[in-house]
Structure 1
Amino acid sequence: MTETKPRQPFSQRHPFLFGFTLILAAMVLMLGTMAAFRVLVGGQDLFPPKERFALVRVEGLIADSREITDYIGRIRRDPTVKGVVVRINSPGGVVAPSQEIFRAVQELAKEKPVVASMASVAASGGYYVAAAAPVVVANPGTLTGSIGVILETANLKGLMEKLGVSHEQIVSGPFKGAGSPFSDLTEEQRDYLRALVENIHQQFVDDMAAARSMPREKMAALARGQAFTGLQARDNGLVDRLGGLDTAFELLKEQTGLTGEVPIIEGPPEKRVGLLRQLLSELMVEAMGRLVLR
């Protein structure tokens, strides 16, 4: 009876193929681990390059600052980020979030070179953010400036009367109901709201004059709500250089001494927002007389 030899393991019969499979499995495991780590740390690279630039996007209506300021804080602490471009394409927005982003960019500029780059529009609150950067770049046709504050209220009193609907309001003081769409403003309330708008406007002018190292009187003359083209803004001292995004990164290279292709990280992560949701967001920002930089 012939003795059957035991079958050799696959690793011995095909050592090359077995080794290749082990290497491939190790690579897949490593890539999967890296991908999971990126998710856990917010999309950061596991092994980032030693030197790179960051691009901070400020887009659309400025209604909330949290995501932008968090991202700015993250790249401020990142030693691999050697310079930052703040890319602005915004018509403005609510006062406090614009101020928060302005302060965050100022703090960032104390530690790293920062250049603001204006896209199609960087007006009012959008210009507020741009002015925080030591260097501001705009396209000749960019719409910017529009330094001013607006407070709007709707008056539905006449419509309610035609519909036969009455409205009663119980308030704790003469100013608590100021701006209600169901009643007329009293002269006292109108003066009160006008003082609020003027106070915010003075803050805006003070910050812009300091940021641009411009006499306050000159900035006040430019802060009457008028918009400027990028070319006009450059001639009026609101912008430093004319050019696009490439110009902004070239200026960063000059400031940092980096040359060639410099890796760029972008943030905060974009969110897809439907048209209806965007319109509702803009209506909510201005509803009931909220102060808006526009």
Structure 2
Amino acid sequence: MGKLSAIWRFFSSWYVSGPLLAVLGIVIGAWVFFNVYPGKPKIGVIDIPFTVINDDSAFVISTFLEYARRDDSIKGVFIRLNSPGGGAAASEQLYFETRSLREKKPVVIIMNDIVASGGYMMSMGASYLYTKPSSFIGNVGVILSY
């Protein structure tokens, strides 16, 4: 009986029971927040800073686009784009993936300082385009072969 009462006194002291109750409250609160309350619809925001589109950057951007396409709680996507362009194959891949995302939910591309060549090609897959008057918007480049 003495051993049981010593354990009870230990757990009933404030320096043990206070943090224990706090941790328990955080765990229960997190479970309720993430499982009981599904939350409001979300708008996805993808930032593409001054990026030359190549295979590596296209892979990273594709991962973000695919995540936004598959997550049903995301109801629309804003893409802040700033790119001077890049490789034709990678840009075409991003165009098709942006278009695929557009088929499932609205996609708005916000063109920042410069969107040229491959960046412009990617933006053609979006539902809406927004550009600033001072933005430099270019076209899809030409390939010269001789």
Structure with more contact order per residue of length (Cα contacts < 8 Å, sep ≥ 6) = 1
Match of 1:21 in 2: 19
Question: Within the alignment, does 1:55 sit opposite 2:45 as a pair?
Answer: yes
Return the structure number with greater strand share.
2
TM-score, normalising length: structure 1: 0.41
Give the C-alpha shift of residue 23 in structure 1: 1.9
> Which string of whole-angstrom CA distances, capped at 9 and with x for unpartnered residues, describes residues 80-100 of structure 1?
101001111000000000000
How many residue pairs get aligned? The number is 136
Secondary structure at 1:9 match in 2: helix
Secondary structure at 2:72 match in 1: coil
Question: Which letter maps to 1:110?
Answer: E
Secondary structure at 2:67 match in 1: helix
> Which string of whole-angstrom CA distances, capped at 9 and with x for unpartnered residues, describes residues 118-155 of structure 1?
1111111111111211210011100012332245xxxx
Map 1:105-124 → 2, pairs under 5 A: 105-124=98-117
> Which of 113, 124, 130 is equivalent to 2:123?
130
Map 1:1-12 → 2, pairs under 5 A: 6=2, 8-9=5-6, 11-12=8-9
Match of 1:201 in 2: none
TM-score, normalising length: structure 2: 0.78
> Partners in 2 of 1:77 and 1:114 — Cα distance?
14
Contact 1:86 1:130 (C-alpha < 8 Å) held by counterparts: no
Give the C-alpha shift of residue 26 in structure 1: 3.6
> Partners in 2 of 1:13 and 1:78 — Cα distance?
47
Match of 1:68 in 2: 61
Return the structure number with greater helix share.
2
Match of 2:71 in 1: 78
* % identity of equivalent residues: 29
Map 1:177-256 → 2, pairs under 5 A: 193-194=145-146
> Which string of whole-angstrom CA distances, capped at 9 and with x for unpartnered residues, describes residues 205-259 of structure 1?
xxxxxxxxxxxxxxxxxxxxxxxxxxxxxxxxxxxxxxxxxxxxxxxxxxxxxxx
> Partners in 2 of 1:26 and 1:139 — Cα distance?
50
For structure 1, the residue ranges without an aligned partner over 5 or more in a row are: 1-5, 35-45, 152-192, 195-294
